[in-house]
Structure 1
């Protein structure tokens, strides 16, 4: 496994950093390390915040120091690097692509020199790892979009993107759990309700993967109604 660094971030956090690149194995290791740190139940550690290649450990600066936390977590990091990664879940997410649901699909297809359907086929032929959640409640930063589809984000962001919209920004992809401004290229929309303020814990988590599959407009309506009634079960595949 690659070398890592532990550095202080102010007086209430330390960051564990690996190589500066988007790498699924590095990210999965960070999530594993984060789980082990929380399970260790250090009295002063408050939470962990994963990103693409870093894990920030937040602690109560009135009870401990960055040096003490670094010394406590280093054995856990070394332990995690010696064991196999645990199995992960892959969520199967339905998406209606193109038209009013995906206003940027044709632009992305042109960028890739593909037809709209070929672009959808290329996009749905990959599983996408959820590297971390952020920006909005439940917004999943996923990668990696195939090179030919990796179109840069819009130069001028939209002021309103509907909840459930699925977008591309370079090699990143993600879905908007709530209505929001945004500059990603919107290629489709899922009928699933991705965020509920009354139950803010998303069904998916960082470290999971997503496999998108295409549906038509009739299927969109049926799945949306079932999801709102609580009778639609999002399927998973164990890896």
Structure 2
């Protein structure tokens, strides 16, 4: 199996499995992450998945105290390399399948009309295509809990906005190129907003699972009405 290892500063090691976005690479990343988290070494802090690799963060002082004959980065590189050899890349846990309700268009999806016009189709067709696909969460990034999802139908792939918005409401679902994703918190952003979910995607009070989604999840969007959106949100804004 091909991969590269490189130090990232003095407290992380990056494993890169390729330079393309693919489900095969994502499965390798997930397998290595699961093995590393199940066999944490002294000084291990966390793993962070990206589209093409996995970054392993560690406390260099604790690593050095465990093995003073080598530099912490060298020690961790050797450990990670041993994990790659030991991990089972042919056996994976069944992914979580999560359905997320979305109210499309209107004030909840102000760019739905643009996406429809860009592709010479109706708004209803865009919604049907977007909600008719199961997406793979490749990674979480940009802000807490923001899922980068692949597998979107190329028929509705749309460039980012020429001018980003200064503030996007939490729960907004958007399109950027061939990706789709959601804004867990209110933040600036340039994705084309086509809808909004009433479900909290970032839950800082939940220590075990502060984010609704994680890398490796499979997601489907379920269209709902504005009345259903308000009913799910209750008294929350």
Whole-Å Cα distance in 1 between the matches of residues 86 and 119 of structure 2? 43
Whole-Å Cα distance in 2 between the matches of residues 208 and 55 of structure 1? 16
Give the unaligned 5+ runs of structure 1.
Answer: 229-239
Give the unaligned 5+ runs of structure 2.
Answer: 65-70
Name the SS of the counterpart of 1:7 in structure 2. Answer: strand
* 1:165 aligned to which of 168, 172, 175: 172
Structure 2 match to 1:127? 134
* 2:190 aligned to which of 183, 187, 197: 183
Name the SS of the counterpart of 1:188 in structure 2. Answer: strand
What is the deviation of 1:79? 3.1
Whole-Å Cα distance in 2 between the matches of residues 39 and 90 of structure 1? 22
Aligned-pair Cα RMSD in Å: 1.8
2:203 matches 1:196? yes
Structure 1 match to 2:219? 210
2:112 matches 1:113? no
2:100 matches 1:93? yes
What is the deviation of 1:125? 1.5
What is the deviation of 1:67? 2.2
Task: Output one character per residue of 1:183-226: Cα deviation in whole Å (capped at 9) or x when no partner.
Answer: 00000011112223433612322211210011111221222229
Residues paired across the two proteins, number: 226
1:123–1:145 Cα contact (<8 Å) kept: yes
What is the deviation of 1:82? 4.0
Structure 1 runs of 4+ aligned residues shifted over 6 Å read none
Structure 1 match to 2:67? none
What is the deviation of 1:58? 1.4
Structure 1 match to 2:83? 76
> 163-172 or 200-209: which moved more?
200-209
Name the SS of the counterpart of 2:60 in structure 1. Answer: coil
Task: Output one character per residue of 1:62-93: Cα deviation in whole Å (capped at 9) or x when no partner.
Answer: 31522221221223213335432211011100
1:29–1:81 Cα contact (<8 Å) kept: no
Structure 2 match to 1:33? 32
Whole-Å Cα distance in 2 between the matches of residues 11 and 178 of structure 1? 31
1:145–1:170 Cα contact (<8 Å) kept: no
Name the SS of the counterpart of 2:234 in structure 1. Answer: helix
Whole-Å Cα distance in 1 between the matches of residues 52 and 107 of structure 2? 35
Structure 1 match to 2:162? 155
2:144 matches 1:137? yes
Whole-Å Cα distance in 2 between the matches of residues 187 and 127 of structure 1? 17
> 193-202 or 18-27: which moved more?
193-202
Name the SS of the counterpart of 1:32 in structure 2. Answer: helix
What is the deviation of 1:164? 0.8
User: Scaled by the length of structure 2, what TM-score is found?
Assistant: 0.89
